[in-house]
Structure 1
Amino acid sequence: MTQPETVTIARFTYRHEAEFAAGFLADADIPHSVLVDDHGGHVTFSNSAAVLVATPDADRARAVLQEAGMLPTGE
């Protein structure tokens, strides 16, 4: 079985922010991944953390994070 294409729906400065956002997606039953390049926690200040979802779930995931106040609403 092939994996669906993914898209980055949000970037955060810190890993804990991305993990917090991922919790809202988990509560909404949206499969997701958190991608962090922090060299094992040693360089947390220089790289962002990204939240990824399958492309078909992107709009719903963005809406969930906007409702949670994790993304700007565009207003």
Structure 2
Amino acid sequence: MDYTKRIRDLREDSDYTQEYVASVLGISQTMYARYERGANELPIRHLIELCKLYKISADYILGLSDTK
């Protein structure tokens, strides 16, 4: 599974808006939307922040594990 689908699914399952997640990452909603679409690659620093936000491992987001 592609990480773009995983970050979108995590956000939707948590009932977060793109705007909220973007604010946690310190970026614009437009930039975050580009991550979810795959138009821009997710920087490692943002991957780490998403792991903290959702309390999951990076392996799950990257598709290396199906265990959150």
**TM-score, with normalisation over the residues of structure 1?**
0.39
Which gives a bigger RCO, structure 1 or 2 (Cα 8 Å, sep 6+)? 1
More strand, by proportion: 1
Normalising to structure 2: TM-score of the pair? Answer: 0.41
